[in-house]
Each structure stands twice: as C-alpha cells, then as structure tokens.
Amino acid sequence: MALSPSQRRYLRSLAHDLHPVILLGAKGATEAVVKELDLALSHHELVKVKLSGGDKEERQQQIDFLTEGTKSESVQQIGHIVVLFRRNEDEPKLALPR
C-alpha cells in the first residue's frame, strides 16, 4: 500500500504531537522489537519509534528491518526518530485523505 503525498503530509501532521512508543536500545532492531511494534501498529496505526545510535546507514538498516518485519510504511524520518504507519484492516482508526 503506497501512500500518496497528501496522505503522507496528513500523517506527518498527526504524528507531530506523538511521543515515541518504541525505543530501541543498544541491541537495535530485534525480533522482539518487531513483535512489540507489530502490536503497537495494530492498536494505534501510526507509531513513532526512537532508533538507537549509530550512523545514517545503520539507522536506515533498522528502519528497513522494522518496516519489512511489520509490513508497515515509513512516513517520516528526522534524525533518530521515524514515524511508521500500517492500516488496521479490521478496525481502521485513521481516515486518510485521497
């Protein structure tokens, strides 16, 4: 499910006031983190994640691992914070613009 530019802009505006729900530690992105993120995405649909330290490439690898593991989409990344979105097909909570 690819998000349109207007949908990304809308989700970024919603994510502005959110606090990170998932904080990655020294081990980075692991299977246990993916499971927790999967639960958070099922419940909230839009989640902020604070990535662990490292250079830009390492953070991008963490984002790729998390998005592939949860079948979510990256909405925005600023520094060590990434916003992920996955539509809850059973009970959608966010109405996306077209």
For the chain, how are helix, strand and coil distributed in percent, rounded to 5? 40, 20, 40
Structural domain that includes position 35: 5-85
Cβ-Cβ contacts under 8 Å for 45 (sequence gap 6 or more): 85, 86, 87, 88, 92, 93, 94
10 in helix, strand or coil?
helix
Residue-wise pLDDT tens digits, 15-50: 999 999 999 988 889 999 999 999 999 999 999 999
CATH number for the domain harbouring residue 15: 3.30.110.60
What is the residue whose two structure tokens read 């989700």? 11
Longest Cα separation, the chain: 39
33 in any annotated domain:
yes
How many domains does the structure of the chain reveal? 1
97 in any annotated domain:
no
Residue-wise pLDDT tens digits, 47-90: 999 998 888 999 999 999 999 999 999 999 999 999 999 998 88
94 in any annotated domain:
no
46 in any annotated domain:
yes
Share of the chain above pLDDT 70, in %: 99
